[in-house]
Structure 1
């Protein structure tokens, strides 16, 4: 019972933080330009600091092995999501124009903006270390395989080519590589720099929730919640994929914390990068935004089910 109350308490905090962003967007306290810059600030500064900060711990072979386990498992589960997305698209006869968005939505959860802060709140600080490896897998897969899916399924696949070099140089990926090198080589940041990085990274959880609320505040509520395919894809993203992943991984991963980080991360809603990359590679950005909106609303009810598996 105490664990249930803890989860509900954390979810209420998340909800109120998202509500701040939602109200600010609806009341036009912030606009589109601010949100775009805010998102860039999060991905370019806040998240890299958060990742480096989480990897500033003493190296042990066991920790590195566990981190590698998270990375490999997440890569495999992203591929599993692609298979589920492709099969469900065919079986349910989803409209052809939604193909790239549908498959991408099944592949990638919002591990960065929602998964990390929620996992940190529920499982504690030690879980953040594993989140860094999961986020690394997410970034590599979404910026490569995910981008290719969107580009190939767009209306003009020859126009929007994937720039792999640019994608792999994303600040989050660079920060993860640097953080892992520092971890393996036992390199510690000097006191003032470490404290600065910790303070900046420490803002991530609250700012990410406010940002997500701001994204939701952009949309017409009635128009968005009547998109029927958004509920279908949300079922796969929020329930089928994390639940099937739990049963796939359980025989191989016996550490409950590691398994919990992966499964709870996969139970988060459709990643915000879906809309960002859709715009870049010629897919339907508006449809992606509707999927993100509906899945984010529904996750408030579905995510606690997965917390209960590990508490």
Structure 2
């Protein structure tokens, strides 16, 4: 029921963007401006809020979970280079497939489901999982999603581009958490309000992009369908079988399962549009995996728990 509710909310937000595009209220230029707001204001604010928490973990628990999380991302990054080659992805779209392999919709779908299933205290595990995510999406993600020429980067990322707003706020968020720095309530509330813009704005932009996507073509794209099944079924199932060998806490295992099983994160499409990358493929990937996750997430849960 919870998953269904989240999907309904997501589709309603996408529908607003779809209708807005159809009636001319959301133009291509509007979508780009909304993407810029998400990438440079809303999502960084959400990252900062994730570091402001009264909940704390013991040092040994924090260390062991950090090792497991880093191992998960190491495997995902390896798969990000292997899958596009195995699926024979066009060089123009290779970076998008790499980003879609690593980055899932952990913010909008992951956190609410974790909170409802395991309580608000379990969200802390999700926040810990999101720290490498936030750093990687603004470094590896930007590099993979930015405009390519003949399958190669137009130019290498400069130091200024690497030290972008996302990376800087991720570092600040980590410092806030590790040093337990207290932040005034009014500032926390302001950041929360800004962070809450991430989900609706990103879903509206995705919805607007659907006006140029044929659902028939979407579900007949064999390569994208195969990728989606690998992303939504094989990776979470086999990933959790390995994680269970080293993690015995059922709540933590449940959190990791949710994080791995969620569809492609909408930030992949936002960044692709912001950096003039293959926005169409990124939008198709977000849309298709979101639609399929209504079925795949319950299936993964039943198989593992």
* TM-score category (smaller protein): 0.7 to 0.9
Counterpart among 132, 139, 144 of residue 137 in structure 1: 132
**Alpha-carbon distance in 1 for matches of 2:153, 2:90:** 21
Aligned positions of 1:18-57 closer than 5 A:
18-57=14-53
Counterpart of 2:283 in structure 1 is 289
Alpha carbons of structure 1 residues 67 and 36: separation in structure 2 relative to 1, 3 Å: farther
1:181 paired to 2:159: no
Counterpart among 250, 256, 265 of residue 256 in structure 1: 250
SS of 1:186's equivalent in the other structure is coil
Counterpart of 1:232 in structure 2 is 226
Counterpart of 1:161 in structure 2 is 156
Partner deviation per Cα, 1:114-138 (whole Å, 9 max, x = no partner): 4345544554433433333322212
1:125 paired to 2:120: yes
What residue ranges of structure 2 are gaps of 5+ in the alignment? none
Partner deviation per Cα, 1:44-84 (whole Å, 9 max, x = no partner): 3333333333433336451x655555554343223323433
SS of 1:129's equivalent in the other structure is helix
**Alpha-carbon distance in 2 for matches of 1:254, 1:190:** 37
**Alpha-carbon distance in 2 for matches of 1:69, 1:216:** 42
Q: CA deviation at 1:302?
A: 1.3
Partner deviation per Cα, 1:87-127 (whole Å, 9 max, x = no partner): 44455555555444333332332334543455445544334
**Alpha-carbon distance in 1 for matches of 2:208, 2:62:** 32
Counterpart among 185, 203, 206 of residue 191 in structure 1: 185
SS of 1:300's equivalent in the other structure is helix
RMSD: 3.5
Q: CA deviation at 1:154?
A: 5.5
1:270 paired to 2:258: no
Alpha carbons of structure 1 residues 97 and 269: separation in structure 2 relative to 1, 3 Å: same
Counterpart of 2:102 in structure 1 is 107
**Alpha-carbon distance in 2 for matches of 1:82, 1:191:** 37
Alpha carbons of structure 1 residues 286 and 260: separation in structure 2 relative to 1, 3 Å: same
**Alpha-carbon distance in 2 for matches of 1:13, 1:150:** 27
TM-score (norm 2): 0.79
Q: CA deviation at 1:214?
A: 3.7
Alpha carbons of structure 1 residues 70 and 37: separation in structure 2 relative to 1, 3 Å: farther
Counterpart of 2:215 in structure 1 is 221
What residue ranges of structure 1 are gaps of 5+ in the alignment? none
Confirm or deny: 8 A CA contact 1:55 1:179 kept in the other structure.
Answer: yes
Alpha carbons of structure 1 residues 301 and 61: separation in structure 2 relative to 1, 3 Å: closer
